[in-house]
Chains A and B, each alone.
Chain A
Amino acid sequence: MSEPTPAIPPDPADSLAAVAALRRLADELEDAAVEQAMRSGWGWPRVAEALGITRQAVYKKHSRRLIAAGVELRRRES
């Protein structure tokens, strides 16, 4: 038998707090994953496509942080 699907929390405060917490978790995961990809030699276009966002958006959000972290940034992959 399959397990019953959990219901959305009955209190809207819990549901909304879960949304906020998931956004924070997704942001933290994105920071770590983009850094990991760029350290592995990925270029911005590939990272952007994998995330489903534009190159400009991913560059704007992550470039300053990665430059400060000493990551070698590539426009294109060799």
Chain B
Amino acid sequence: MSVFGDYLAAVIHRAQLEASDAGSAKVEAPHLLLAIAAQTEPSIDPLLEEFGLDVAAVRAALDREYEHSLNTVGVTTAAYDLPRPTRLPTRPGIGRSAKLAMERGFGAVTKKKGLRPAHLLLGVVCAEVGTVPRALALAGVDREAVLARLRQAIDTPTM
């Protein structure tokens, strides 16, 4: 498998664990973002660090978005304590928002060989609606600045 193939497999595996832990039957874009933040990858780690996107910060931002979205219609999770869901014994499949993120991220590349970790992150971050952009906005992350830096990184030829 290619270097990018190995990276993608590792991210999807981690995203499946995140989805499974959350009791979700599908891997969605927020799980991909958590997995990208958790995966050590020298080509994007400095960028993630620059914008404060470590796994704990991403998780906190996603939790905040969930609570905030419920609050807009007068619901709160703080009102009662739900038990942790029992994990599904099967690996979650890839959900709609995660598929869309991959299509968007990989779509700009004409040759499969040109794929890099930055493309996957670009695909996740470029969504204009949904949980990820809302979570980033609530966390004070400048999504446009992240995108600009990612595009710059993608346009810079590698060795």
Contacts and interface: CB of A to CB of B under 8 A. Distances in A.
A75 B137 CA distance: 48
Contacts, number: 65
B75 interface: yes
Q: Quick one: which of A9, A27, A31, A64 has the most chain B CB within 10 A?
A: A31
A29 B73 CA distance: 18
A35 to B, nearest CB: 6
Q: Please tell me the size bucket of the interface on B.
A: 20 to 34
From A16, A24, A27, A68, residue with most partner B Cβ within 10 Å = A24
A57 interface: no
A17 B138 CA distance: 13
B69 A69 contact: no
A32 interface: yes
Given A16-B129, A68-B88, A68-B89, A29 B69 contact: no
Given A32-B85, A64-B89, A9 B131 contact: no
Contact of B89 (A24, A31, A65): A65
Interface in A16-40: 16-18, 20-22, 24-25, 27-29, 31-32, 35
Interface of A: 6, 8-9, 13-18, 20-22, 24-25, 27-29, 31-32, 35, 64-69
